[in-house]
Structures are given as C-alpha cells and as structure tokens.
C-alpha cells in the first residue's frame, strides 16, 4: 500500500511517500527564511509560497522515493492520497487540499483528509525502532494547541485536557518577542536558555481545574518581570524592552520561563496518568516536542515508572507530510473510508475526528 502525503497547514510545504508504513521519501520546504524578517507568518504570503512550491515538492517526493517512469512521477504506483485537512491557516490549507483534491480526481486515487493534530501524534510511528503501545496518553504541544489526548487504540481519540487560552508554543513565541529573540520563537528561547539560570526568576503556576491548561498568565508574568528588571512601568512599549536587557538577562529569562512551562506540562501529565492508570505509553507530539530540555526533564520526571515515553524524532516534530501519510495508513487499517474529493470541506474544526 503506497500513500502520498501532502501537508501545507502553516509555513511548510511538504510531500512524502510511505509504503506499508515505511518511509520512502520526505520533502519539506520551509518558509522560515521569508518570515524571519517579519518576525512571524503572514498568511497571504504563506499561501502564495505554497502555491509556488507544492508541485515541485510533490515531484521531488516521487524522485526521492525512486517512483519514476520515463523520468516522470509514476502515478500508477500510488494507491492513496492523504492531505492535511484542518486546523491551520485557511489560505495555506486551501493550497494543499485543492492540490490533493485535483490530483485525486485526475489520477483517480482515493483521497483521505487527515486532521493535523492526529498527524502530529502519528509522527511517533515514523520511528521504526519501537512503536508506542496502547492505551496511551498523548500531549499535543504546538503553536496553536495544547491538548492531552487519551487513545485506547489506533484512531480513537478522547481529548481529556486542553488550554483555556494560549497554546504553549504560542507562549514560547510571545516570550521570544518580549526578549527580542528571532522567529521562530520556540527554538530561539530554547537556544538562549542553554546558557541561562532557570532558577533566576520565579513564575507562578496557574491553578486551572482538572486537566486543562492556561498559558496567557505565564506570558504576562514574564512581561511584568522583564519590565520590573528593566526598571520601567507597565505602560512601557514591550517591543522596546529588548534594548534594555543584557544577553545574560535574556538567557536567564529564557531558561526560567522554559523551566516553568515544562513543569506545568509535566505536572498536568502526572495528574492525567493518575486518572488513567491503565496507560502504558506517554507520547509527545507537535512542534514544542522538539524541545531538548522537555525531553531531558520528562525522562527524569517519569524515571522509575514502568511508563514508556515516546518523542518523535526531532525532524518529525515540526510540520511534515510523512506524519500525514502515517496517520492515513492507520485510518485505512482502521477501515476509515476515503472522502468524496468533490465534497471536500475545509471549514475549521478543533476536535480530533
């Protein structure tokens, strides 16, 4: 069974080919360089860039997989097409879904519209060494989502916790802006934190009931602490604070913020695990799961328990199409039916389907 995966939910254009769960190719073209000078993604520019990149990226995926006939992409070899459906930036999603839909109609292939968060979870199956064992809990931590999801088996998702305001990745990005660190914020904060003292500044943990999260207060707590450290009041423009900070202070703020965010995530996870004692594996997913300090501290936090901890390979933490094809592979194995390409609807949905 050969699946072509296509991903364009934000600022990465990606295509991948997967044969019976084994990766044949994985092509990702990132728009990071375009958006560095703006300090963030501009949706309209992202959509135009996807439009330019998507067909060459798909061709490259065929080349890298060695699926060529007379030097051209060999469409006869493809059994299914899978595409990121939602959530994401509307214009970006449109390019991927309309391309996939057109190809499915032209090449007469069954089409699967895959939820983006489901794909992030399935990035953990791309590591062929050891597949996660069910039942499991997945922590999805990305730029737009922070969710704890219980999975009793493949393709069954129960959201048991979610953020009530900002996502943790968004919080990393906003703290990076306050500290004057470059886009994308998460990796910049992680890099700056390496030389910082994580005990230097103390930030409160929000008291949110149950398994839900709140990250907007942490961002504001960092802002207030930076203002205090710089000796300015709360009316001082936040984008000018960076000019008043030393490199050492920036590193200490990065490390202290990062440690607090990780502690909040790990505390909620241990709460979720107490409520679901049957869980065998803890699976991390989404862009923030690339964070090396999170990986290190999660290992220490859960050391001594029988729980297995699974992170995606760092190259699969960010947006890619291999995870889309893998999620589709398990949809097919779970007997999910393809969609009618003519009725593809990309209206946003936040719940996993």
Closest distance of CB 71 from Mg ion, Å: 34
Kindly identify the residues of this chain, within the stretch 166-195, that bind ligand AMP according to CB under 6 A: 169-170, 172-173, 184-187, 190
CB 16 within 8 A of CB 91: no
Phi, psi of 8 (to 5 degrees): -155, 40
Question: Closer CB to Mg ion, residue 25 or residue 142?
Answer: 142
Closest distance of CB 289 from Mg ion, Å: 11
With CB under 6 A as the rule, give the number of residues binding ligand AMP: 21
Partner whose binding site includes residue 26, from ligand AMP, Mg ion, none (CB under 5 to 8 Å by kind): none
Question: Closer CB to ligand AMP, residue 73 or residue 163?
Answer: 163
Closest distance of CB 185 from Mg ion, Å: 15
Q: For residue 3, what is the enclosing H or E element?
A: strand 2-7
- Per-residue string for binding with ligand AMP, 319-348, x by CB under 6 A? x-----------------------------
Q: Applying CB under 6 A, does 7 fall inside the site for ligand AMP?
A: no
Q: Applying CB under 6 A, does 35 fall inside the site for ligand AMP?
A: no
Burial class (CB in 10 A: 0-12, 13-18, 19+), 252: buried
The pairing of beta strand 146-151 with beta strand 136-141: antiparallel
By CB under 6 A, name the one of 291, 297, 298, 329 that touches ligand AMP: 291
Partner whose binding site includes residue 87, from ligand AMP, Mg ion, none (CB under 5 to 8 Å by kind): none
Question: Closer CB to ligand AMP, residue 169 or residue 341?
Answer: 169
Two tokens, residue 107: 């090449």
CB 141 within 8 A of CB 285: yes
The neighbour count for residue 248, using CB atoms within 10 Å, is 12
Question: Closer CB to Mg ion, residue 95 or residue 250?
Answer: 95
212-241: b (≥16 Cβ within 10 Å) or e: bbbbebbbebbbebbbebeeeeeeeeeeeb
Q: Applying CB under 6 A, does 87 fall inside the site for ligand AMP?
A: no
Question: Closer CB to ligand AMP, residue 107 or residue 194?
Answer: 194
Partner whose binding site includes residue 318, from Mg ion, ligand AMP, none (CB under 5 to 8 Å by kind): ligand AMP
Contact residues for Mg ion (CB under 5 A)?
142, 319
Distance CA 183, CA 238 (A): 16
Distance CA 138, CA 265 (A): 12
Partner whose binding site includes residue 186, from Mg ion, ligand AMP, none (CB under 5 to 8 Å by kind): ligand AMP
Measure Cα distances from 346 to 66, 83, 90, 94, 341 in Å. 32, 11, 8, 8, 11
Phi, psi of 206 (to 5 degrees): -70, 145
Partner whose binding site includes residue 187, from Mg ion, ligand AMP, none (CB under 5 to 8 Å by kind): ligand AMP
In the Cβ-directed half-sphere of 11, how many Cα atoms lie within 13 Å?
Answer: 19
Closest distance of CB 223 from ligand AMP, Å: 17
Q: Which residues bind ligand AMP (CB under 6 A)?
A: 10, 120, 142-144, 169-170, 172-173, 184-187, 190, 286-288, 290-291, 318-319
């Amino acid at each position: 069974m050969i699946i072509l995966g296509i991903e364009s939910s934000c600022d990465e254009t990606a295509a991948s080919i997967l044969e019976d769960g084994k990766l044949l190719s994985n092509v990702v073209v990132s728009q990071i360089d375009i958006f560095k000078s703006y300090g963030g993604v501009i949706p309209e520019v992202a959509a135009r860039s996807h439009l330019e990149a998507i067909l060459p990226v798909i061709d490259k995926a065929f080349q890298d997989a060695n699926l060529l006939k007379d030097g051209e992409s060999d469409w006869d070899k493809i059994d299914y097409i899978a595409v990121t459906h939602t959530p994401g930036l509307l214009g970006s999603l449109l390019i991927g879904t309309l391309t996939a839909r057109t190809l499915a109609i032209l090449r007469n292939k069954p089409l699967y519209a895959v939820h983006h968060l489901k794909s992030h979870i399935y990035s953990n199956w791309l590591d062929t060494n050891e597949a996660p064992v069910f039942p499991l809990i997945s922590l999805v931590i990305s730029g737009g989502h922070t969710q704890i999801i219980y999975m009793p088996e493949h393709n069954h998702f129960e959201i048991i916790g979610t953020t009530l305001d900002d996502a943790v990745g968004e919080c990393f990005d906003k703290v990076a802006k306050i500290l004057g660190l470059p886009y994308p914020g998460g990796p910049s904060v992680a890099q700056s934190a390496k030389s910082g003292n994580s005990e230097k500044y103390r930030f409160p943990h929000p008291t949110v009931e149950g398994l839900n999260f709140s990250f907007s207060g942490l961002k504001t707590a960092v802002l207030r602490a930076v203002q205090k450290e710089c000796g300015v009041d709360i009316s001082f423009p936040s984008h000018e604070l960076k000019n008043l900070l030393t490199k050492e202070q920036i590193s200490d703020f990065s490390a202290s913020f990062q440690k607090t965010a990780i502690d909040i995530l790990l505390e909620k996870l241990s709460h979720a695990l107490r409520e679901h004692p049957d869980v065998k594996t803890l699976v991390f997913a989404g862009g923030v799961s690339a964070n090396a300090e999170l990986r290190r501290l999660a290992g220490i936090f859960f050391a001594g328990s029988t729980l297995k901890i699974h992170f995606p390979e760092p190259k699969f933490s960010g947006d890619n199409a291999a995870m889309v094809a893998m999620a589709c592979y398990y949809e097919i194995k779970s007997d999910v039916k393809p969609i009618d390409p003519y009725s593809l609807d990309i209206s946003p949905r936040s719940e996993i389907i």
